[in-house]
Amino acid sequence: MRQTVRAQAKDEKQTSNALVEHRGLMLILSSPSGAGKTTLTRLLLQDAALDLKLSISVTTRARRTSEMEGVHYYFVSKPEFEKMRAEKSLLEWAQVHGNFYGTPKGPVEARLSQGHDMLFDIDWQGTQQVQKSAPKDVVTIFILPPSMKELQARLERRAEDPPDIIAGRLENARHEIERWTMYDYVIVNQDIQQALNEVKSILIAERLRRARQQDSIERFVGTLLSEK
C-alpha cells in the first residue's frame, strides 16, 4: 500500500512538480556496547523488503578484525576526522569510549530526499543532535541487555576487544543505560528474533503514520473518492 502510494506519487511527480514527496525517516538504534545493535542492524539490512540502508559512520577507533572499511565504518585518522568536522560535513558527532565517531551528512541527505529510510547505529549524544535538527523525521529505539551479567558475557563472547577495553565499555554501559528515557521506544534484547520483530513492527507502524504520508495519502484518497 505504502509502496503503491509512493510509486503513484513518483509517477505524478514526473508529470507535475507540484507534488512534494515526503522525506524518508531516520531510524536510530542505540544501546550500551554489546547489547546487540550491530546484530540487529545486520538482520534488518538482510531483509531487502524493508528497504533500509545503514548510515556508515566515520570513526577514529581501530578496526576490529571482523570489520570492513566502508561496510561497518570508514576508519579515519584524527586529523581527517577534524577536517570533516571543520568542514561541517558531519550531521552529528561524538566522542565515545575515547574515540571519535560521526555521521557523514551527504549520503543521509541524498537518501532521505529520495523518500527512502536510513538506519543509524549511533550513541545517545548523536541521537540528541539528530533529534534536535530534524525532530519530525527521527524515530529512536534504545536496546537494553537482559542483564548486566549477560552484557558482559556477550562482550566476552564477541571476543573483539581486549579485557581492559571490555571493562571500560561495561563501566560506560551504566551511564548509557541511564539515557533510556530520551528514546521513543525501548526493547530488551533477550531473544534476538523477538527483538528483531519488535524493531520491524516499530518501523512498519512509524511508516504508516498519517503525518508521514500526508501528501501521497491526500492524493490517494482523492482518487478513491472520485471512483464511481
Ligand X SMILES: Nc1nc2c(ncn2[C@@H]2O[C@H](COP(=O)(O)OP(=O)(O)O)[C@@H](O)[C@H]2O)c(=O)[nH]1
Determine, following the binding rule CB under 6 A, whether residue 96 of this chain makes contact with ligand X. Answer: yes
Selected binder of ligand ADP within 36, 96, 111, 118 (CB under 6 A): 36
**Which is closer to ligand X, CB of 123 or CB of 198?**
123
Which H/E stretch holds residue 64? none
Determine, following the binding rule CB under 6 A, whether residue 198 of this chain makes contact with ligand X. Answer: no
Which positions ≥6 away from 136 have C-beta within 8 Å?
Answer: 211
Selected binder of ligand ADP within 105, 116, 154, 179 (CB under 6 A): 154
CA distance 63 to 69: 8
> What phi and psi, each to the nearest 5 degrees, are found at residue 95?
-100, 120
CA distance 81 to 47: 32
Determine, following the binding rule CB under 6 A, whether residue 157 of this chain makes contact with ligand ADP. Answer: yes
Determine, following the binding rule CB under 6 A, whether residue 89 of this chain makes contact with ligand X. Answer: no
Selected binder of ligand X within 24, 36, 126, 145 (CB under 6 A): 126
Q: How far is the CB of 105 from ligand X (least distance, A)?
A: 11
Q: How far is the CB of 24 from ligand ADP (least distance, A)?
A: 23
List the 90-96 sheet strands across, edge first. Answer: 73-75, 57-59, 99-104, 90-96
CA distance 146 to 28: 20
Selected binder of ligand X within 8, 38, 39, 89 (CB under 6 A): 38
Q: Which stretch binds ligand ADP (CB under 6 A): 48-56, 73-81, 88-96, 183-191?
A: 183-191
**Which is closer to ligand X, CB of 75 or CB of 220?**
75
Which H/E stretch holds residue 57? strand 57-59
